[in-house]
Amino acid sequence: MTVKIAVAGASGYAGGELLRLLLTHPEVEIGALTAASSAGTLLGTHQPHLAPLAGRVLAETTAETLAGHDVVFLALPHGHSAEVAAQLGPDVLVVDLAADHRLANPADWQRWYGGEHAGQWPYGLPELPGAREKLVGTKRVAVPGCFPTGGSLALAPALAAGLVEPDVTVVAVTGTSGAGKSLKPNLLGSEVMGSASAYGVAGKHRHTPEFAQNLSGAAGKPVTVSFTPVLAPMPRGILTTATAPLIGDVDENTVREVYEKAYDAEPFVQLLPAGMWPATASTLGSNNVQLQVGVDADAGRLVVICSIDNLTKGTAGGAVQSMNLALGFPEATGLSTVGVAP
């Protein structure tokens, strides 16, 4: 079975990564590619790495250009995404890479994004407890944010098993592509290279309520989240450091067992052997999540380190994985478990 897909927002980084993956997906035919200000130009101008599609002309993002496809991926700014989604029929599989359909609570949407809440869709992080079932056969998918992807998988097992207090601290070091192809001075190569910087500090980053929603779900009770993103001089990758106070005397073996049990059957999650710590380069270009756990007995804390590629597992790979589940393809179709390193 071949499905025809469209990508709205094909000139951006998320759109480009989607196309990189879909080009090798055996069940997919690539249909319309749309853009906003770049409509009418060649895809090759914006994505010279997608050689087989270099001659494709970008269409405008309208209901018409997106019609006639089995799957529509929306790699659009939030707000615009829900608007376009509302014009797509109920039989089309719509995979939304923006934030519009992630949050359950309209009040959270109002506070963090503003405007009317578009409603919640099945959440495209199948490794979270309860998530995979909702994705099978669905026609609507909300792809997780890149930060909550890594951070939620890092802490969910410990919270679900009651190993830690529901009071977590997450510092996530990210590559610059997470900020998109935005023409801002602080994203220029000259500013970024050789520099680490913080932003959205002290509960100001919009991924914070998504973290809380995921982790509270895993814990079965409200979880407090302190989240700090740090921009590092690399194009891709997120290295998450997640810590929480341990409840009672828990040793590393106990923690390892909990994480092994949680992720043993997962095709894309690897708990590294004891003594090895994750590096983002090892997951680059793959859909993998590499984890390591540590117990700091002095501080009474669990520390989990987690590496993903923000554009692959954190965005486009998660989207394709969810599409596979929605359409009944084997979950790993078209996705790699091998990173591109060094």
6 binds a second copy (CB under 8 A): no
72 binds a second copy (CB under 8 A): no
Residues 152-181 that bind a second copy (CB under 8 A): 167, 169, 171, 173, 175-177, 179, 181
Establish if 204 lies at the interface with a second copy (CB under 8 A). yes
Give the phi and the psi of residue 186 in degrees, each rounded to 5: -75, -5
By CB under 8 A, name the one of 195, 221, 253, 328 that touches a second copy: 195
- Does residue 77 interact with a second copy by CB under 8 A? no
Applying CB under 8 A, does 224 fall inside the site for a second copy? yes
Instruction: Answer yes or no whether residue 36 interacts with a second copy by CB under 8 A.
Output: no
Least separation in angstroms between residue 179's CB and a second copy is: 8
Describe the crossing of helices 317-327 and 13-22 by its angle, rounded to 10 degrees.
50
Instruction: Tell me the backbone φ, ψ of residue 243, rounded to 5 degrees.
Output: -130, 155
Q: How far is the CB of 266 from a second copy (least distance, A)?
A: 12
**281 interacts with a second copy by CB under 8 A:** yes
Sheet of 28-35: strand order equals 59-60, 28-35, 3-8, 71-74, 93-96, 140-142
Alpha carbon distance 127, 337 (integer Å):
15
Q: In the set 65, 81, 213, 288, which binds a second copy (CB under 8 A)? A: 288
Which phi and psi (to 5°) does residue 242 adopt?
-120, 130
Torsion (CA) 88, 11, 314, 110 in degrees, nearest 10? -60
Please state, in angstroms and as integers, the Cα–Cα distance from residue 46 to each residue in 31, 60, 122, 337, following that order. Answer: 18, 15, 31, 27
**Shortest gap between Cβ of 191 and a second copy (angstroms)?**
6
Q: Is 306 marked active-site?
A: no
End-to-end CA, the chain: 36
Q: Which of 213, 254, 223, 18 is nearest to 128 (CA)?
A: 213
Radius of gyration of the chain (CA): 19
User: Taking the CA of residue 9 as centre, how many other CA atoms within 13 Å lie in the half-sphere pointing to its CB?
Assistant: 23
Under the binding rule (CB under 8 A), the answer on residue 49 touching a second copy is: yes
Taking CB under 8 A as the rule, does residue 45 contact a second copy?
A: yes
Q: Which of 22, 75, 146, 271 is catalytic?
A: 146
201 makes contact with a second copy (CB under 8 A): yes
Residue 258 structure tokens: 């909990």
Please report how close the Cβ of residue 92 comes to a second copy at its closest, in angstroms: 26
By CB under 8 A, residue 243 contacts a second copy: yes
User: Binder to a second copy among 1, 190, 249, 264 (CB under 8 A)?
Assistant: 190
Q: How far is the CB of 224 from a second copy (least distance, A)?
A: 5
Number of residues that bind a second copy (CB under 8 A): 96
Q: Does 214 bind a second copy (CB under 8 A)?
A: no
Residues marked as catalytic: 146
